[in-house]
Amino acid sequence: MSNTSLLADRYRLGEVLGTGGVAQVRRARDVLLARDVAVKLFRPGEDLADARRIDNEICALAGLSHPGLVTVYDADPGGETPYVVLELIEGRTLRDRVADGPMAVEDVRRVGAALADALAHVHARGFVHRDVKPSNVLLDDDEIPRLSDFGLVSMVGGSGITKTDQVVGTAAYLAPEQVRGQEVTAAADVYALGLVLLECLTGHREYEGSEVEAAVARLHRPPAMPDGLPFDLVRLLSRMTALSAARRPTARECAEALRSPVADPPTLVVAQPPRSRGLLAAAAAVVLISAVGTGLSTWNSVTSTGSEPPATNAPASNPARQAEFAPTPVVVQPTAPVVAPAPVEVVDRGTPAGPGGKAKSGKGKDKKGGA
């Protein structure tokens, strides 16, 4: 079809905006309504899967209407050249934006919430996009995102296996269950959105390498979270990219979490390490001395004056309780008189005998009082 002819006697085709596995997107002019549009022209082959995929996309786009999706104006799935007429978004793709460098956290929250809202709308109508990636997100001049390219859309519960020539460049965003060839649900779109938001924050794909390397890498390690992210965003992205589909939040929950950031939890107080034995022993000694001093002070106040113990408030009818709190009386015995011992005769064997051979004798003296 030449550039000067009209498609369906209405759309004048212009420049090529993009090319995919089974379709080509071109700028066009709607001569009837005098507005610019985007026309997606399909190239149906003999493969019935291609024809079925074209029908699925056109039916899905025709039944969806959301601010986060590209609006469908017209379609003809049964003609010689099937086509769908879409809203023309003047701007660039999210992939082009990420190529300029990482995005601010606030911008990522805003874009992510809008895309999650659009996915929630798609999922609520029984579809799974299966090809969420930066190049399929269109940004208008106001940086408002639109999710596009439903060429791989399927009903919830459909197979996630696609031909490699139709999923070019998307292996880096496949969910683990898609890599394993398991049942594909809406959780696969949530996983891909999580990787897209991480790429917006870091400026590069999380899983690099060939398609096989990128696809298998997610089965061996979770995506790395960049430093300095708010706690709630780290928690959300970790849940969105969980290996198990059952652990991921829904698209609606993702949109609510991205729109309502929560403050980081308070910093935990780290417990001080236990003190050394020497310090503990010294502290215990201080406590023991204080207790003993208190006991002695109380004891002296009771016994030093020799007076009666202080009266208690217990009733007289309960003498046992009075005795329980009364201190034990101290009895002081009188000092016994000192009795002088009997005189002891001391024989000095070292003194020589006097005249007549008799030894000298004397009376022993009792030492009293240390005299």
Angle at 276 between CA 274 and CA 280, to 5 degrees: 90
**pLDDT under 50: residue ranges of the chain:** 158-169, 268-270, 276, 279-280, 282-289, 291-292, 294-326, 330, 332, 351-371
Sheet strands (E) in 88-170: 91-93, 127-128, 137-140, 145-147, 154-155
Distance (Å, whole) CA 38 – CA 32: 15
| Neighbour count for residue 226 (Cβ, 10 Å) | 14
Q: Locate 96 and state its tokens.
A: 């082009």
Q: How many CA atoms lie within 13 A of 221 on its CB side?
A: 9
| pLDDT score, position 20 | 75
| pLDDT score, position 306 | 43
DSSP string, 308-362: PPPP-SS-TT-HHHHHHHSPPP-PPPPPPPPPPPPP-EE--TTSPP-TTSPPP-E
**pTM of the model as a whole:** 0.66
Domains of the chain: 7-87 (3.30.200.20), 91-259 (1.10.510.10)
Nearest alpha-carbon partner for 123 in 57, 189, 183 = 189
What is the set of active-site residues? 131
Q: 250 to each of 121, 140, 163, 253, 340, how far by Cα in Å?
A: 11, 26, 27, 5, 109
Burial 330-360 (b: 16+ CB within 10 A, else e): eeeeeeeeeeeeeeeeeeeeeeeeeeeeeee
| pLDDT score, position 167 | 37
Angle at 132 between CA 128 and CA 133, to 5 degrees: 170
Give per-residue pLDDT as tens, 159-199: 444 444 443 337 899 999 989 888 899 999 999 999 999 99
Distance (Å, whole) CA 80 – CA 195: 38
Angle at 325 between CA 320 and CA 331, to 5 degrees: 95
| pLDDT score, position 67 | 92
| Cα pseudo-dihedral 283, 284, 286, 292, rounded to 10 | 170
